[in-house]
Structure 1
Amino acid sequence: MTAAALTAATLLAEIDDAADPQVAEVLERYFQLQPGGYGYGDQMVGVKLSTIRGLLKPYLRAAVPLDELEQALTSPIHEHRLAILCLLADRAAKGKGNERPEIYDLYLRSTAYINNWDLVDCSASEIVGGHLIDKSRDVLTTLVHSESLWERRIALVATHWFIRRGESEDIYHLAPEVFDDREDLIHKAAGWMLREAGKRVSEEELRVFLDEHAPAMPRTMLRYAIERLPADVRAHYRARR
């Protein structure tokens, strides 16, 4: 198939062709699509991320119009949205032409469809963090106070882009804002980013943060944040909690 023949519709059709009902059953449990789960109401057809990334390879070189991708992002099928977000994240990371701000705007007006942790985690850093790297980060404070679990997670995961480039201030600002969050997925995301800040930027900065905040941190957030610290240091902060 030529690049010109690659469209959002052909990508979604390829995902449908790769569907496996047995894989769908496993994914439905893993992403909590059952009643009462955080993914309830979503639909899985049964395509693993590794398969999706394989299908995406030719599309990474094709110029599928953004309006097509935005429309495809409204699909009720989880794996369709996952593929579109992976594609948008790749294009945002490459930052060709004027696409990065367009993708950022598309993303923030589409958060209703970015409604599970894998969808956030494959895209928020490249699309939101990548766009904000040389701009005000005030939008992250707005997002972290959103009623939407997924918008709050977007704010936290977006900081990974900054952390990988040696900037840790944003996660140290945002993490205390979610100490009282009711969702474990938010505690996990904040702890993950704190851990990354300690690993990639400064372990000393992380310890200073923990010295002040460890007693108030949710257990899950603290556990994730200290994972890469020496055993005796982990024990010290657990005891303070």
Structure 2
Amino acid sequence: MADIYIRQLVEWMNQHRNEENAKAMKKYMRDQFDFLGIRAPQRNALLREFLKEHGKPRLEELPQMVLALWELPEREFQYIALTLLEKDVKKLSDEHLPLAETLVVTKSWWDTVDPLSTNIIGTILKKHPKWIEHYTRKWIQSDHMWLQRTAILFQLKYKKETDEQLLYQYIRMCKDSREFFIQKAIGWALREYSKTNPESVISFVESEHLAPLSKREALKIIKKHES
């Protein structure tokens, strides 16, 4: 059943290929992925039409379908997989964390890692906090840049429920990284938390030797309010 569903979805999306858009989208993503050339508004509309006719995947079939979509060469299918996960995110449990981890380290780039971190993994861990230490500690201590980015960003939407101590600890562990995506993640996480606790973020930034990019990103909102 899952194979038929995926085949129908692929056929449906392939009918709307746009080679000109595909070239531009591939270039924007530094030639790392092929594209159908279907931009987000049209892709979302097409998916809504497809789901209206064929229905959403059943929860028990979702992991298999997501992995099948992840294997396809065109990047839009990974975006669709993320959308399907997000539609059922409230039903996802800690049993889906290994799947999410696999997706983070497969065909990794910011466009999939960030929604996985903030929308899916963050939501699951918020519901099942007993797994935070197990997974995020492993990720931050790994040599995998995208897992480290995930560990820094998973609390991005937690606001007042942010574990400040954990956030700052993970940032300290990665603050000397020369990786652009780690420096950017540190700044992004601090900038978002500054909406909740600006005094704490200011104090942290002043006391830590952060990369210029991280510091600049962290204080963007605070400096905007000061000007």
TM-score normalised over the length of structure 2: 0.82
Show CA shifts across 1:115-166 (max 9, x none): 1101112222222111211224222132123333222222222121423x53
Give the residue type in structure 1 aligned to 2:16: A
8 Å Cα contact 2:117-2:154 kept in structure 1: yes
Structure 1 residue 85: deviation in Å? 1.5
Distance in 2 (alpha carbons) for counterparts of 1:126 and 1:13? 28
- The 1:161–1:13 alpha-carbon spacing in structure 2 relative to 1, beyond 3 Å, is farther
Q: In the alignment, what sits opposite 2:80?
A: 83
User: Alignment partner for residue 147 of structure 1, among 124, 127, 143?
Assistant: 143
- The 1:116–1:79 alpha-carbon spacing in structure 2 relative to 1, beyond 3 Å, is same
8 Å Cα contact 1:124-1:157 kept in structure 2: yes
- The 1:186–1:137 alpha-carbon spacing in structure 2 relative to 1, beyond 3 Å, is same
Give aligned pairs, total.
216
Query: Larger helix proportion, structure 1 or 2?
Result: 2
**After alignment, is 10-19 or 52-61 more displaced?**
52-61
Give the residue type in structure 1 aligned to 2:201: L
Structure 1 residue 223: deviation in Å? 1.3
- The 1:53–1:146 alpha-carbon spacing in structure 2 relative to 1, beyond 3 Å, is farther
Please provide the CA RMSD for this pair. 2.7
Q: In the alignment, what sits opposite 1:54?
A: 45
Q: Write out aligned runs for 1:136-215 (5 A).
A: 136-138=131-133, 139-163=135-159, 166-169=161-164, 170-199=166-195, 201-213=196-208
Distance in 1 (alpha carbons) for counterparts of 2:95 and 2:16? 30
> Identity of paired residues, percent?
21
8 Å Cα contact 2:38-2:76 kept in structure 1: yes
- Structure 2 unmatched ranges of 5 or more: none
- Structure 1 unmatched ranges of 5 or more: 34-39, 235-241
TM-score normalised over the length of structure 1: 0.78
- The 1:167–1:232 alpha-carbon spacing in structure 2 relative to 1, beyond 3 Å, is closer
Q: In the alignment, what sits opposite 1:238?
A: none
**After alignment, is 131-140 or 115-124 more displaced?**
131-140
Show CA shifts across 1:163-209 (max 9, x none): 3x53142322222222122321221122111100011x211111121
Q: In the alignment, what sits opposite 1:36?
A: none
